[in-house]
Amino acid sequence: MSSSDPWLVVIDAQRIFASPDSPWGSPMFDDVLDPVRRLAASYGRDRTVLTRWVPPARPHGSWAAYLEAWPFARVGDDDPLLDLVEPVHDLGAHVVSAPTFGKWVPDLVDLTGPAPHLVLAGVSTDCCVVSTALAAADAGATLTVVTDACAGSTPADHAAALHVMSLYPPQITLVTAADVLA
């Protein structure tokens, strides 16, 4: 692969979003693991980035109110609740942790460059995936969102987020894993 080749970015495949016992658990999570693993095998470890949501160390502004509303998520960034799930541990050579929904943060920009082609998968479509896609597209990145490799908080919210992102061509395009792997 060359430096201009796309990067696979697997957004927040963490226990906090995978566990059915978590208030943030996605009922769609298990369904995206196979497409994510197939995509990662195609892109390779060096072109795959795994991201993690971590709570801000000192919540301020709206984050203070947000973590008041979701006290179970007020944990240290090394808490097992924030661990990547076992099926993705070995997929990427790079891990970016950020205390924001969107993962278009300086650490990801430094890794991929300021105007890369990012292929997005992960959780949750209606929060961290859409937040990443819109911010990255606005900054000049090209985004491909793999619809069947993203899990929403609910199927309806997943569909709504995909609809929003579908309004941004050609900066954001929606495809399936089969399309990417063809």
Specify the higher pLDDT residue, 149 or 2. 149
Q: State the amino acid at position 8 in one-letter form.
A: L
In this model, does residue 1 exceed pLDDT 70? no
The pTM score is 0.97
Quickly state the pLDDT bin for 146 (edges 50, 70, 90).
very high
pLDDT in tens, 119-140: 999 999 999 999 999 999 999 9
Q: Which whole number is the average pLDDT over 17-39?
A: 97
CB 8 within 8 A of CB 47: yes
Q: Which whole number is the average pLDDT over 165-176?
A: 98
pLDDT in tens, 101-111: 999 999 999 99
Q: Which whole number is the average pLDDT over 65-80?
A: 96
The reported pLDDT for the residue numbered 3 is 61
Report the distance separating Cα 168 and Cα 65, nearest Å.
31
Specify the higher pLDDT residue, 1 or 140. 140
In this model, does residue 141 exceed pLDDT 90? yes
For the chain, domains (ranges, CATH) are 7-181 (3.40.50.850)
Quickly state the pLDDT bin for 4 (edges 50, 70, 90).
confident
In this model, does residue 21 exceed pLDDT 90? yes
